[in-house]
Structure 1
Amino acid sequence: MLPTYRDGDVLLVVRGVRPRPGRAHVVRLPPDAAGRPRPLSVKRVTGRDPDDPERWWVDSDNAAEGATSFDVGSLADEDIVAVVARLVRRALG
């Protein structure tokens, strides 16, 4: 999620709330093309999937890298784990 967040940043997240379009969220992405699970990720929820309003569309703040819904498809409600409430501590370096 560069430039917004970087490896090692400490984020305060809130579980159990509805996704909030425009905000960063902790999400569970589907397995990669080889079937390997991906780690939890921080992605920006941009809104409902236009083709399936029951699912969420996610994007990355770094256009040069990072998986988005263009790569992995939209996500179900249960894949949106938490909303990022704030950056608590910036990583050193």
Structure 2
Amino acid sequence: MVPTLNPGDQLVVRYGAVVRPGDVVVMRHPFRQDLLIVKRAVERRAGGWWVMGDNPLVENDSREFGAVPDEFVVARAWLRLRPPPGAGQRSAGALLSWAASAVRPVRVAGSAGRSLSRRLRAR
């Protein structure tokens, strides 16, 4: 699965927004509450949200620390902003490519979001 976020991406978030399965959320790490992490909310369980990262090989998610209480979920990600290309990549093609993909919603919409949620639950 291709990661939703890449190094250098910025998020536009909504604090206090209702979280639904498939949403990307900003949350406090359950073991280090001064650390904010970004994960995908998979489903509601007893005790809070089951969250997972888009990289199945990294287990810094609910597989490691269990369900995350609601009060640890800080915000729901709304948009992803990619940084502009570096100074050496300012060709017209690079700028057009960047402009076409610089701002994207991070929520997986429609049936794709539901199937993603089902795939993550099955693992």
Quick check: TM above 0.5? yes
Task: Give TM-score, length-normalised by structure 2.
Answer: 0.61
Distance in 1 (CA, whole Å) between partners of 2:34 and 2:59 is 12
Deviations 1:30-69 (A, max 9, x none): 11xxxx55620110001111xx1x5111011011214111
Aligned residues: 85
Q: CA deviation at 1:22?
A: 0.4
Q: Within 5 A, what are the aligned runs for 1:3-42?
A: 3-31=3-31, 37=33, 39-42=35-38
- Structure possessing the higher relative contact order (Cα contacts under 8 Å, 6 or more residues apart): 1
Q: Which residue of 1 aligns with 2:112?
A: none
Provide the C-alpha distance between the structure 2 equivalents of 1:74 and 1:92, rounded to a whole number of angstroms.
Answer: 38
Task: Give unmatched runs, 5+ long, in structure 2.
Answer: 87-123
Q: Does 1:63 align with 2:56?
A: yes
Structural RMSD (CA): 2.1
For the 8 Å contact 1:30–1:38, the answer to whether it is kept is: no
Which residue in the other structure is 2:44 paired with? 48
1:4 counterpart letter in structure 2 = T
**TM-score (normalised: structure 1):** 0.78
Higher-strand-fraction structure: 1
1:72 paired residue number: 65
Matched residue type, 1:40: L
Q: Distance in 1 between matches of 2:84 and 2:67?
A: 30
Is this contact kept in 2: 1:26–1:81, CA < 8 A?
yes
- Decide whether the 8 Å contact of 1:29 with 1:38 is kept in 2: yes
Secondary structure (helix, strand or coil) at the match of 1:43 reads strand
Higher helix share: 2
Could you tell me how far 1:90 is from its partner in structure 2?
A: 3.9
Distance change (3 Å), C-alpha of 1:92 and 1:42: farther
